[in-house]
Structure 1
């Protein structure tokens, strides 16, 4: 296994490569403020590929499921994901994000990015499924 510190140092390079090789896609890197040593800290990495975005408008059910899973291994964190079902009843990942922690701020950040990428507006004619028992208000 490689050096995770070196790999996280390349995260902006990964973002640039995704955007260069997948025209129209969305990729956002969220980093924290610099500390007293001048280091910036990773907070989140979001991806929504243009082809998946187009597929969302090309005949999928107007139903989005949001969920999360723990990331295990050297680099702990969470994977936030937005999925839907296509016309063949197959799961279609729309967007995902790797974040450090699950909290209101990371979910709000993720939901706003999904909302903007899918141009959901007020969310009319759209249903959302989640296992969370909290109120979500994303403007």
Structure 2
């Protein structure tokens, strides 16, 4: 597996977190798809032995961190919001999400990858929009997060 910087080489000059997250997501999911036998075995092993979950490579964490590095360095988003975005992305940028769509929803692998890239970029845009609303004094968009509306 290449280092995150190498995986994100196509967007090395971009500071756009949405574009960078899209490339990181597609890269990871294609990597998972190409090695799905071993990835499924590793997931199965950690499901029955949760204490061994730390032995999983966790490739997504490095890719997500690298994809969001320009955003983190820009101080355009606070640490708590950045951490929440990273947690949200780990749910979407994952082998488990890919297998959920292909196995349980019957999606073709290419459509599943496209769907997850869409979800990851939508999540990233929403996090950026929430920051913009907070900075403008408008607060979070109640339609995007109805559970936080008063």
Normalized against structure 2, the TM-score is what?
Answer: 0.27
Greater relative CO, 1 or 2 (CA 8 Å, sep 6+): 2
Tell me the TM-score normalised to structure 1 length: 0.29
* Higher strand proportion: 1
More helix by share: 2
